[in-house]
Chains A and B, each alone.
Chain A
Amino acid sequence: MTTDTLLEVSGVSVSFDGFKAINDLSFSIGEAEMRAVIGPNGAGKTTFMDIITGKTRPDSGDILWGEPTRSLLKLSESQIAQLGIGRKFQRPTVFEDQSVADNIMMSLKAHRQPWSVLFHKFTQDDGQRIREIAEEVLLVDHLERSAGDLSHGQKQWLEIGMLLAQDPRLLLVDEPAAGMTLEERNHTTDLLREAAKTRAVIVVEHDMDFVRKLDCRVTVLHEGSVLAEGTIDHVTSDQTVIDVYLGR
């Protein structure tokens, strides 16, 4: 491990009613690194994210974060998020009843305590940040629209925008390109690569072409543990990976 390790997952296991969803999984990512996590259905990708973000508590193992390192195991979802871990869900989850601007505004890095939020004064800077983010995700013309009225791809982008607004140190992105046109995908790729220049990004994805475009290290999960790790070419030529994907 290098000294600039941001997140280190070591020997984590979790089981649901006897089914081992994650089995002695170890994983680490450094600052300003992009990593793609792939694996067939049921490999434990979503559970892996649930464990990092605190939604699911592992039965054993540890998760260490940042410098000086601290364990994430005892923290709640919101505390973990406040430490700088942002998450985008597989299904786009934006607040459909609220405007695009409000969605981004809620995500902006700021105090999260009820009291300061209650007396929050909307400043010129906030407006500026919202506009910048909206420009990055190509939603600047839709700021006042209700998020529920956006197209599927726009919702994905809005969620990425909300992620960026949080200014996290680690982005967990679950299938960002699902349901997008080729053009939209390319823009998504650019957004993620741009983000990875300053922070760590973990992308969970099915689509090999998309992963190839990201041009980063790839971790292959299978049955809750790491099957292989390396460049995309390395893992796609690995016989065990091929077996897993193509069936025995």
Chain B
Amino acid sequence: MIRTITALLFAATLILSFGVGTPARASDSIEVIFETHAEIIIKGSRRTITPAIEAFRDSGLPEAQIVLETWRAKDLWVRKADNRFFRATTEDRKTYDLLDIVTGEALGRAAKKELRQIKPNSGVRGLISAALVRFQLSDPDPEVRRSSLAAIQRDPAPSHLAALEASIDKEDDPGLKAEKRRLAGLLTIQFAEAPETRVAAIRAVSSDLGIDVRAALNPILATRIGVYTAAPEGNVAARLTIGSDIGADEAYALLVAQGAAAPIPDEEKKAALAEHIDGGMVGGVPVASLTDPAARDRAYARLAAAGRVPPSPTAEERDAAIAAHRFYAVYEEPNPAVTDAASEALESIGTMVRSYEVLDLSLDALSLASIYFLAAIGLAITFGVMRVINMAHGEFIMMGAYTGFVVQQLIPSYTISILVALPLAFAITFAAGVTLERLVIRWLYDRPLETLLATFGVSIALQQIAKNIFGTQARPLTSPEWLDGAWDINPIVSISWIRVAIFVLSVVFLLFLLFVLNRTRLGLEVRAVTQNPRMAASMGINPDYIRMMTFGLGSGIAGIAGVAIGLFAKVTSGLGQDYIVQSFMTVVVGGVGNLWGVLAGAGLIGILQKGIEALNPSNTLAAQTYMIIFIIIFIQFRPKGMFALKGRAAGD
């Protein structure tokens, strides 16, 4: 007996598998399915339709997909006479051309009243869609497979799990195969029946940083607050303490939901009191004394006792009611093994996330530091050599940024315009710096504080001129496409290419300046003037020339920094002001006359600012405040900066 059944099944399997290979017969099979399930298809009820959909889905026929899609698109018609199914088109809405569902072959005409359109409701359509997923997941086109994966990821449903798992083995694209495995794991975590399967799936993702993994795990740990008089039931997460874990009001609200007496809000009490004022008295309490909350409670209690207002539980009653109950956070997920595994996995993911966030933060700090370095290095050079602070340095940065803007108006290609703007900005601000030095600063070398003020005058004039020329609105400086987007190292660590470029730029400048200062004649003379101007002059170095060149160099670098900053910040006339104080801080913290000092200062300030921001991410203003306070305190310990000149060379 058993043997015969096995033999029959084997034969059936053979027939089926042959059927797959021969379209002529497949069409027959579709027909057969329609025939078998005609009744429930026509009825179209969500509760009874499943066998029909499954029959198509499991038929293994490629045409089944077309049938299901047609059905879902409400394009399926049935001829009342013989319950045959067709697609139908019409021109006059009276007579319809009947077409074969799969091939589109014309199969005759029929009047409208002979036909019935199958209009699946949304529930049925959902079931059809789920069934279609299986076809899409094994569609020959990898793009279709990919987009269907994405669709599942967007809106996962339990029904996807089986389809997904079934498609994994047949997947031949290794990337898609891994993605399918991963998604199947996530679906298993959420929808599988057996707890062991889910636990295993959870363990498998405990080092996956994807946000979707956390999104799948977090709902497992969702809790509700349960109120119990005795031992709690269910999968308890923790007992809640009144006052710290849960507020008394919130706790009492839960009791109210269970039937405890609802408290009357103060506003309503007050309105009720106002309604019952009677000759300057409410419930025997004079109205004038109702400025005292206790008097109000007394008056209300009297009114309630007289039955004129609904009673409100007193504070003592509330406390007693709360004390009589225990409050627990209870997992919605009943199985403790699953919740334990989920919390373990989340914890290990959390640890990884935090360490990667530190890395991400360090990259942020590094990029901020390189911006400050670029902004401050020119200032440091001029300050180091001449001991004067150039308050217009920020405006040179602004000039550089506007140079970039103007060049972009003239040259349409962003790549070329940036390449033109960088040297042009250098040239323009170099010239501006030399002009400023020749006209103003050189007359004030023995009065450093007045240089600070005079250059401030230049600064406000330049700002206003920029405003008059370019207006007050922010001008965009667009980066070339190859700098768009970010370098995503993993789901947590990413850094925009612009910042990478600025980092590279500042490294280039560091190397360039190291070369100029340490390996060239100009650098030697600059260092000589920095350390001992009088001695340098007596050795035949022309300090005037050196100062002019240094000032030009420092200003020129500011111009280049301006182009770089303009790529990610809005270019306005106040652009320089946003960076000038940080640049000063960088120089002050680092110490003058030393490139490494500026580097260290920029690094310290970048790290500090990002670090403080990370501690209080919602408030970047506070972060800057604390950073400046930190710097003021830092100056206490290193008044001359981190890399100060010592001894007699310090000139104090």
Contacts and interface: CB of A to CB of B under 8 A. Distances in A.
Nearest to A14: B647
B113 interface: no
A17 interface: yes
A199 to B, nearest CB: 29
Interface string A16-41: 11010100000000000000000000
B170 interface: no
Contacts, number: 7
B515 to A, nearest CB: 24
A17 B594 CA distance: 15
Size class of B's contact patch?
Answer: under 10
Nearest to B648: A16
Contacts of A21: 647
B94 interface: no
Interface in B627-652: 646-648
Nearest to A21: B647
Contacts of A17: 646-647
Contacts of B646: 16-17
Size class of A's contact patch?
Answer: under 10
A43 to B, nearest CB: 14
B454 to A, nearest CB: 22
Nearest to B646: A17
Interface string B105-133: 00000000000000000000000000000
A17 B648 CA distance: 10
A16 B646 CA distance: 7
A217 to B, nearest CB: 29
Interface in B598-652: 646-648
Contacts of A19: 647
Nearest to A15: B647
B365 to A, nearest CB: 31
A19 B646 CA distance: 11
Nearest to B650: A16
Nearest to B652: A55
Contacts of B648: 16
B224 to A, nearest CB: 67
A16 B649 CA distance: 10
Q: Is the interface of B mostly helix, strand, loop or mixed?
A: helix
A21 B647 CA distance: 10
Nearest to A56: B647
B640 to A, nearest CB: 13
A21 B649 CA distance: 13
Nearest to B647: A16
A212 B647 CA distance: 33
A19 B648 CA distance: 11
B538 to A, nearest CB: 16
Nearest to A46: B648
A21 B648 CA distance: 11
Nearest to A17: B646
B535 to A, nearest CB: 14
Interface string A75-102: 0000000000000000000000000000
A238 to B, nearest CB: 29
Nearest to A47: B648
Nearest to A55: B652
A167 to B, nearest CB: 29
A16 B531 CA distance: 15
B461 to A, nearest CB: 32
B446 to A, nearest CB: 14
A16 B647 CA distance: 5
A17 B649 CA distance: 10
Interface in A175-202: none
B639 to A, nearest CB: 14
A16 to B, nearest CB: 3
A102 B564 CA distance: 56
Interface in A1-24: 16-17, 19, 21
A132 B363 CA distance: 71
Contacts of B647: 16-17, 19, 21
Interface string A44-75: 00000000000000000000000000000000
A16 B648 CA distance: 8
Interface in B540-556: none
A21 B646 CA distance: 13
A44 B646 CA distance: 16
A17 B647 CA distance: 7
Interface string B381-421: 00000000000000000000000000000000000000000
Contacts of A16: 646-648
Interface string A104-120: 00000000000000000
A16 B644 CA distance: 12
A19 B649 CA distance: 12
A55 B648 CA distance: 12
B638 to A, nearest CB: 16
Q: Which of A16, A19, A21 has the most CB of B within 10 A?
A: A16
A205 B648 CA distance: 20
B98 to A, nearest CB: 101
A16 B651 CA distance: 13
A90 B435 CA distance: 39
A73 to B, nearest CB: 19
Nearest to A16: B647
A47 B35 CA distance: 112
Nearest to A19: B647
Nearest to B645: A17
A94 B646 CA distance: 27
A219 B426 CA distance: 59
A188 B516 CA distance: 52
A39 B646 CA distance: 24
A105 to B, nearest CB: 27
A199 B331 CA distance: 89
A17 B531 CA distance: 14
A17 B650 CA distance: 11
A19 B647 CA distance: 9
A194 B646 CA distance: 39
B323 to A, nearest CB: 63
A204 to B, nearest CB: 17
A26 B368 CA distance: 52
A17 B643 CA distance: 12
A133 to B, nearest CB: 30
A135 to B, nearest CB: 36
B649 to A, nearest CB: 8
A113 to B, nearest CB: 24
A16 B652 CA distance: 14
A17 B646 CA distance: 7
A90 to B, nearest CB: 13
A223 B647 CA distance: 16
A223 B13 CA distance: 107
Interface string A156-186: 0000000000000000000000000000000
B531 to A, nearest CB: 12
Per CB-CB distance, the 5 closest pairs between chain A and chain B, nearest first, are: A16-B647, A17-B646, A16-B646, A17-B647, A16-B648
7 contacts: A16-B646, A16-B647, A16-B648, A17-B646, A17-B647, A19-B647, A21-B647
Interface of A: 16-17, 19, 21
